[in-house]
Structure 1
Amino acid sequence: MRKIIVTSLLAMLSASAQAQSQQHQVTDFAQQLQVSYELVNSLPQHCPQDQDKCYYSRIRLTTPQTLNLQDWSIYFSQLTPVILNESSLFDIQHINGDLHRITPTDKFTTLTANSEYELTFYSQGSQITRSEFMPNFFVHVQGSEAQVIDSTRTKIDPETGLELQPYLLPFTDKNKQFRVNKNDNTQWANSDSLYQQINSVPDSIDISAQLIPQPTSLVVTEGHSTVDLSLGITLTINGVSKRSLTPVINRLNLLGVSTKTKGLPVSVNVLPNESAESTHSRPNVSHPKPSNLEYYQLKIDAQGIEITSHSDIGAFYGLISLAGLIDTEKLTLPYLKIDDQPRYTFRGLHIDVARNFLSKAFILSTLDQMAAYKLNKLHLHLADDEGWRLEIPGLPELTSVGAKRCFNDPDNCLLPQLGSDITGSSQSDGYYSVDDYTEILAYAKARHIQVIPSLDMPGHSRAAIHSMEARYRHYLAKGDQVTADTYRLVEPEDNTQYSSIQHYKDNTLNVCLDSTYLFIDKVIDEVQQLHQDAGTPLTTYHIGADETAGAWLDSPACDRLRSHKSEQVAGLHSLNGYFIERISAMLAKKQIKVAGWNDGMGETRKERMPKAVQTNSWSQLYSEGHVATHQQANYDWDTIISTPEVTYFDFPYEAHPKEPGNHWAARNISSKKVFEFMPDNLPAHAELWKDINNQAYRSDDTKNPLRQGVRYQGIQAHLWSEMLRSDRQAQYMLFPRLLALAERAWHKAQWELEYDHSGKVYFSQSGHFTQEAERAREQDWQRFASILGRKELAKLEKAKVFYRIPTVGAKLQQGILDIKTLFPGIPVEYQQTSGEWRPYQAGEAVTSPLKIRAMSQDMSRKGRTLNL
């Protein structure tokens, strides 16, 4: 017996030593292997497997010392599936979503020192921005912990603060690394093309009486008379609590204007109705119009500053406008009068924290900036395939499993995606606790911002599905079959084979199971309670409801539903419509308005939907997207304009490989493009804009125009987070173009082309947008750009917002360097042949500058460099 025990102990020690040795080899492999990724051709002449679109890539593996690790696999994120691998030494397998695996074939022996190993392959679709090529390849051997390969990690440029990708070779070839199809006429945004595109904005524009967003009416009342805010202000408040104005008071303090007992008098008066005149502090002030609770009046004259409104929110916005008028370098304001109210009741920002998590601090900071520019809806995307980000009491698995990504541990995490780290504790992992979410709701409420939660379903639900499968296994192991089945979202007998838009095969919950609706009911009740506890009742809930094609085709439960409840699904395009109708009814009983994306909502039967419905229309304009938008607006649904080619801020600012972002709907969305949007007249953009290939397109609005009297509810900006791995990256994509969206959401410009309800056809030569309107638009842009460059960027810096510093247009003419920037007042420097960076001065002779870049207002941060 003693001999058996000793032998067993020796065997265990030997196995432990072997495991430690193997783990050491895995770590050594991860530290030594050098991976380089190259986009060889974004537009190959021929695509395999009859694909309409593909791209051709190369991965090279090298190592300074021989690596003898056996049976290894390298995993990496590739946004679109590899469709043909040309390597004989390695196989590439698509796992799920964007995750792929490289494994050695029988022809491979070992990774020898100083040898190069190459994989070339074709992938479906297109990738042409550097940010689409994901980091954090990792190596795994059965029985050992996976390790991220060091050479595939990102770094931060110390001058710009932007992410660097050392593993990715440079993109320099405009023909092979920039075009996505034969018709692609997109222009590479270099210093020369920017110089041609940008119209110089003079520094002489008077912005002392200007703010963002532009008020309905602003009149300077007395020549050169001004008030001085440098000694602070003294607030007198009537009809509203000082506490309700605290966020604005804090912003004034941030901008250098403090509240004092003997400062400039500022009175804030809320008059509920016309009979409240006696409470007015100054009898000669006219009453504001009672038609809009967000209306306010602001007057500056010899007696000081007075803000008058009919509600707390009107008073809030009046004081916010005072902050908007301030120039932090010169704390004086002219005598003026503002009468103001918003264009839209819905002025929104959508933030995706599901794909990659963004911190609570980022959300709170963003709420501050939303309030500063009078945005009032935060659409918070809290769950998707890659993560569930909200604690739900009673369903701990949703966050203990669904809020983090690691490898090979399905009971504790999700599979890595989107180039995520594999520790389960990176910045991309995480969730908002009950206390966090309650704090966000209270913070938003104090700034008059409604939080609209979105937990996507029935597609985009992989995080929920796999969390509930972990729950299922947990209770099944305890022998509790009933509890295990209660909230299960999949049917084991469902043999449907499908692939989602993001290439998942297991991300759509089964809409034919009672347990699915028990789960959703539980989640909604808990979210509703969280809002109730925070004093912000849940009135709108966004279900997503899009992108479910191919699911449930071989589901016995769905076969039974079609057979036994045929009258409930008659006339529906798919069971997604049945699901949306059922969830909408569930929400209506809870006094909650349903919201969803327009493609999913379009699968329903209008007569089966509640009267109150919100639809976010993200149909693309160059693909006749106005038709679907008009159709749902004509249903009298609350239609929110979510047009991707102008409101999706996860797309690049400029068409350049180093500008981060996606590209499927727009190659560039500059702040100026957002400013020039005319949301009330969607088809008219065919006269002014180009399609995804930078080609002219045509919009026919004669078939389904908006009915007379139909108006959109509002407009929303969108920040999807597939390519965002930090709060700073998110801020870079949002700012400053969010200010341009705030301008269009609050103020309708006189140059905007009025919508014609009789229906028109628009194309590049249709001539509806006149030259006079073009001149007015350019003049208005110069006003806006001046305010942004000379006032607002400094305010963003004071709030520690990592905004994008614009790239510089430049031209060298007869030894004189001439530059153009999108916004005036931005510091610029250039690099001479000697390598020295010098501040730019107009008219200065230079000796062959090599590079040029802008800087932040405080000159602490550099913008992206362009070669001349």
Structure 2
Amino acid sequence: MRLSHLKRLFVLSAACLFGLQNAGAQDVRYPIIPYPTSLTPAAGSFKITAATRIADASGKFTNEALQLNQLIKQGLGVALKQGNTSAVIALKYDASIAAEEGYKLTITPKQLIIAAKTPTGAYRAVETIRQLLPAGIEGNGTRLKQLTLPAVTINDQPAYAWRGMHLDVSRHFFSISYLRKFIDVMALYKMNKFHLHLTDDQGWRIEIKKYPKLTSEGAWRTFNNQDSACMKKAKDNPDFIIDPKHIVKRNGKTMYGGFYTQQQLKDLVAYAATKYIDIIPEIDMPGHMMAAINSYPFLTCNGENKFGELFSKPICPANESTYEFAENVFTEVMDIFPSKYIHIGGDEVDRTDWERSAAVKDFMKQHEIKDMAALHSYFINRMEKFFNSKGRKLIGWDEVIEGGISPTAIIMYWRGWVPDAPVKAAKNGNTVIMTPGNPLYFDYQPDQYAIDKVYHFNPIPAKLNAQEAKAIIGAQANIWSEMIPSENRADYMFMPRMTALAERLWTSNPDDYNSYLKRLNSHYKRLDKLKIRYRLPDLPNMVTESVFIDRDTLSIKKPMAEMQIRYTTDGSLPMATSKPLGQGLVITKPQTIKVAAFTPIGSRGDIYTLNYKKQAYAPALKVANAAPGLAAVYYKAFFKQSSLISKAKADSIFTTSAIAVPASVNAPSFAITYRGYIDVPATGIYTFYLNCDDGGIVKIADRMVVDNDGNHAPIEKNGQVALSKGLQPFALDFIEGGGGYTLKLRYSINGSEPAEVPAAWFKH
């Protein structure tokens, strides 16, 4: 007994030591995203050949056994035969598994066992196995003599019930084949809710038989300002070319658009159901209805159909014909989509027409409605009762809570600048789905921090207690398509960010970001096989505005070994035939270099434009009695560019030691200027990183260092300046246009790791 005990201790100690020394190797051996709830590595592997047998031992998982067999056939070229008595791959029913999507996976050198209580759980296990199989099984790859799976024991279930992706097909239209591809990628990463935004001002995309003009007219438009912006960007990036499949000639006009027939959508719903993905349709109202109003003007209060100050004019809640139209539309929608959830939108409603309408005033008096927010909620609450009568649940964007909402509605929180909205909804008893713009609007241009921000997003608002937190059932990422005119661009915008969200929502408290990145690196080959035009990993330490004293060397560490980095110096865009960067490029004169990474299959990553200029060290100033902190001026107004601040009247003045917006600022749009000096501790070339939403610029020693101006989502830009030790003039201008703000300034010197600028450096 003593010898056996010592031997056991030795084995356990060795296993622990092996795990510590091979954490990175484990990520390569089990490259699963999202990472399982529990994964126990084991020695050896299970080999699948044409002689292997497969069986649905329970008789409950026929579909899942077929899908697993199809994956194996893609690798071997032949499907496995069924064999209940001799099968070494078996799907078994396990009543002890409580979670709807839970499963157990046991792989040993002798067998592969999937245990689940539901077909959904069994299917999630199949997708885990898919990720453990070689990437070559995807597509029409080379057939293999055997497939190898690493031995492992996995017990798995999701942390959140709602793991969603949203796609707007109204601003720009996407084919049914692309929607199937989108569903396939969702399934690979265990996402389970597909929110399909089918209508908006720019196009109506779903056939409604009672109102045929919605698609014969509402599904088509002449090119708009968003199309023009895409066309401009297409000169440098072919992903912005508007898909010609959706362009037609009508009555001598070039029209863009398209729609889905009811049968096409029913087929799509059935396809998604085989992968246990629920499609949630959104018909957005009472706002965002311009495409419908164009054909059916009776929907308005006054016959007008145009944009107001910010949003389009809505349909009229005082007309019974409006409710008849809405109920008829949603009845047909419900016949197509069996989903328990139907999304009504309800966001961004311009209520000014309602305020001017005598009919609306009479309606409000008759129904004892106190204000426009309450009228908005009256419309939503009335539609919810209709939804409930059909056995469905209503989802609305978080604006619908402003005038009062029933606790049975589901709230989708998106307005990051209204942080109390999900808290208010949860305390009201509503179920809440988190979709805040930062970081879950995947139409926002990704940068080097995009994946990190998604991975570390916490769906639970800090102000909720443990009981209230149960109202948060999950989250989803939204893809609005104003600037996404092609399928390639859509791929680029959501992948690989979606993998980070998948792990955040499936894996309880994921806390190993480095492990995730290692696992992600092994997924790119699979995505290549699936023809997903994902965004390539960022090239590290790219400084867009660089300075040098005598000379500099551009060298880039490749984030993927198989990448090739190519560059140009003549202003042209890097192509697959451009000169490779190699070990480095010596810079001795001012010039502009364009750099991009390429994969072996020809995919190009982001293009980096690097401007080099020669610069002498700026001499320090001697300033008597410089006080700590910076002088800051606050302006309560809207600015499109920081240069317009000088023409505005200041609201208040204060002193601060931090580059940050004070907690007391609550205006939706404003500007802050920071002035003073920065006390540079050593002579050198400094890089400054300005991350802001919306815009900002940094000048030091009267030199432009970072230009991140304009109204835009959170994004970081950087620049360098050569500074002598001592006090240097410092100026930072920041503008916020509304919609949530970010303001951060970091620095590095002579290539050091970026860090926060110390408060002690600021003087005035």
TM range (shorter): 0.5 to 0.7
Task: Check 1:500–1:580 CA distance in 2 against 1; reply closer, same or farther (3 A cut).
Answer: farther
Are 2:359 and 1:544 aligned?
Answer: no
Deviation at 1:393, TM superposition (A): 1.6
Structure 1 residues 435 and 573: alpha-carbon distance in aligned structure 2, compared to 1, 3 A threshold = closer
Question: Do the aligned partners of residues 249 and 422 (structure 1) sit closer, same or farther apart at CA in structure 2, a change above 3 Å counting?
Answer: same
**Aligned ranges 1:310-349 → 2 under 5 Å:** 310-328=117-135, 331-349=147-165
Structure 1 match to 2:393? 593
Deviation string 1:613-641 (CA, Å, 9 cap, x unpaired) is 21110121xx3x43211111222322101
**Equivalent position amino acid for 2:42 in 1:** T
C-alpha separation in 2, matches of 1:317 and 1:257: 23
Equivalent residues of 1:358, 1:427 under 8 A apart: no
Aligned partner of 1:321: which letter?
Answer: T
CA, structure 1 residues 635+831, in 2 after alignment: closer, same or farther (shift >3 Å)?
A: same
Specify which of 349, 355, 366 is matched with residue 171 of structure 2. Answer: 355
Change (3 A) 1:341 1:203: closer
How far apart are the structure 2 equivalents of 1:323 and 1:832? Answer: 40
Flag the 1:820–1:337 CA change in 2: closer, same or farther, 3 A.
same
Equivalent residue, structure 1, for 2:139: none
Q: Does 1:237 align with 2:46?
A: no
323-332 or 375-384: bigger deviation: 323-332
Shift of 1:852: 3.5
Q: Is the contact between residue 235 and residue 259 of structure 1 (CA under 8 Å) also seen in structure 2?
A: no
**Residue matched to 1:267:** 89
**Residues 1:491 and 2:307 are matched in the alignment:** no
With over 3 angstroms needed to count, the CA separation of the structure-2 counterparts of 1:454 and 1:247, relative to structure 1, is farther
CA deviation profile, 1:805-828 (whole Å, cap 9, x unmatched): 23312579999765345x544513
Name the SS of the counterpart of 1:348 in structure 2.
strand
Deviation at 1:520, TM superposition (A): 0.7
Trace 1:67-466 onto structure 2 (pairs within 5 A): 206-222=27-43, 225-229=44-48, 234-238=53-57, 239-254=59-74, 259-261=79-81, 267-271=89-93, 273=95, 289-328=96-135, 331-406=147-222, 418-419=227-228, 423=249, 428-466=256-294
Indicate yes or no: 2:479 matched with 1:673.
Answer: no
Is 1:575 paired with 2:306?
no
Contact 1:498–1:551, Cα closer than 8 Å, also in 2: no
In 1, distance between residues paired with 2:349 and 2:161?
A: 31
**For residues 719 and 459 of structure 1, what CA distance do their matches in structure 2 show?**
19
Decide whether aligned partners of structure 1 residues 669 and 455 sit closer, same or farther in structure 2, where only a CA change above 3 A counts.
Answer: farther
Contact 2:222/2:255 (<8 A) preserved:
no
Q: Deviations over 1:390-439 (max 9, x none)?
A: 001221111001000138xxxxxxx8864387846979500001121111
Aligned to 2:419, the other structure's residue is in SS state: helix
Residue pair 2:33, 2:189 contacting (<8 A) in 1 also: yes
Uncovered stretches (5+) of structure 2, i.e. residues with no partner? 1-22, 137-143, 229-241, 611-764
- The residue aligned with 1:512 is 318
Q: 1:268 to 1:519 in 2, by over 3 A?
A: farther
Q: Within 2, Cα distance between the matches of 1:671 and 1:437?
A: 32
Secondary structure of 2:532 counterpart: coil
- SS of 1:365's partner is helix
Specify the code of the residue in structure 2 equivalent to 1:613.
Answer: A
Residue 361 and residue 804 in structure 1: after superposition, are their counterparts in 2 closer, same or farther (change >3 A)?
A: same
Give the match for residue 536 of structure 2. 805
Aligned twin of 1:617: 413
Q: Aligned equivalents of 1:232 and 1:650: distance in 2?
A: 47
Name the structure 1 match of 2:401.
Answer: 602
Query: SS in structure 2 opposite 1:626?
Result: coil
Q: CA deviation at 1:240?
A: 2.7
Please state whether the residue corresponding to 1:615 is helix, strand or coil.
Answer: strand
For residues 415-468 of structure 1, the C-alpha deviation after alignment (integer angstroms, 9 at most, x for no partner) is: 886438784697950000112111111111111011110010000011111122
User: Which of 556, 561, 584 is the matching residue for 1:819?
Assistant: 556
Question: SS at 1:221's partner residue?
Answer: strand
Shift in Å, 1:853 = 2.4
What letter is aligned with 2:270? A
What CA distance in whole angstroms lies between the structure 2 residues aligned with 1:250 and 1:427?
41
Deviation string, structure 1 residues 222-241 (Cα, Å, up to 9, x no partner):
3xx12234768542113334
Residue type at the aligned position of 1:499? G
Q: In the aligned structure 1, how far is the partner of 2:485 from the partner of 2:357?
A: 37
How many Å separate the matches in 1 of 2:119 and 2:167? Answer: 26
Matched, 1:854 2:597: yes
How far apart, CA to CA, are the structure 2 residues paired with 1:301 and 1:383?
50
On the 8 A contact 1:496/1:554 being kept in 2, the answer is no
What is the CA–CA distance in structure 2 between the aligned matches of 1:795 and 1:646, rounded to whole Å?
Answer: 25
Q: Residue type of the partner of 1:269?
A: L
Give the alignment of 1:655-694 within 5 angstroms: 670-680=450-460, 682-683=461-462
Q: What percent of counterpart residues are identical?
A: 28
Mapped pair 1:530 → 2:351: no
Separation in 2 of the partners of 1:517 and 1:395? 14
Aligned to 1:181: none
State the Cα RMSD in Å: 3.4
Q: Retained in 1: the 8 A contact 2:285–2:315?
A: yes
Distance 1:555 1:292 in 2: 52
1:830 is aligned to 2:566: yes
Q: Please name the residue that 2:518 is paired with.
A: 786
CA contact 1:497–1:551 (8 Å) conserved in 2:
no
Normalized per residue, the structure richer in strand is 2
1:501 to 303, 310, 316: 310
Equivalent position amino acid for 2:424 in 1: Q
Q: Check whether the contact 2:24–2:515 (CA below 8 A) recurs between aligned residues.
A: no
Structure 1 window deviating more from structure 2 (450-459 vs 794-803): it is: 794-803
Whether the 8 Å CA contact 1:489–1:515 is kept in 2: the answer is: yes
3-state secondary structure, aligned to 2:121: helix
TM-superposed deviation, 1:218: 0.3
Letter in 2 for 1:797: D
Q: Does 1:725 align with 2:485?
A: yes
**Equivalents in 2 of 1:840, 1:233: separation in Å?**
48
Residues 400/811 of structure 1: CA separation in 2 closer, same or farther (3 Å cut): closer
Unmatched 5+ stretches in structure 1: 1-201, 274-288, 408-414, 470-487, 532-536, 655-667, 684-700, 752-779
Helix, strand or coil at the partner of 2:221: coil
Task: Give the 3 Å change call, closer, same or farther, for CA 572–466 of structure 1 in structure 2.
Answer: closer
Output the amino acid matched with 2:344: I
Match for 1:381: what amino acid? H
Tell me the CA shift for residue 546 of structure 1.
Answer: 1.2
Distance of 2:342 and 2:115 partners within structure 1: 33
Q: Are the aligned partners of 2:50 and 2:76 in contact in 1 as well (CA < 8 Å)?
A: no
Specify the code of the residue in structure 1 equivalent to 2:56.
I
> What's the secondary structure of 2:508's corresponding residue?
coil
CA distance in 2, matches of 1:232, 1:675: 42
Give the AA of the match of 1:467.
Answer: S
CA 1:428–1:342: 2 relative to 1, 3 Å: farther
Deviations 1:181-210 (A, max 9, x none): xxxxxxxxxxxxxxxxxxxxx986741123
CA distance in 1, matches of 2:283, 2:364: 27
1:457–1:509 CA contact under 8 A, matched in 2: yes
Which structure is higher in RCO with an 8 Å CA cutoff and minimum separation 6?
Answer: 1
Q: CA deviation at 1:864?
A: 2.7
Question: Which residue is 1:651 aligned to?
Answer: 444
CA distance in 1, matches of 2:254, 2:285: 26
Aligned-pair distance for 1:722? 0.8
Secondary structure of residue in 1 paired with 2:332: helix
Alpha-carbon distance, 1:731 to partner: 1.4
Is the 1:388–1:398 contact (alpha carbons within 8 Å) kept by the matching residues of 2? yes
Letter in 2 for 1:723: M
Q: Which amino acid aligns with 1:501?
A: L
Indicate the SS of the match to 1:456: coil
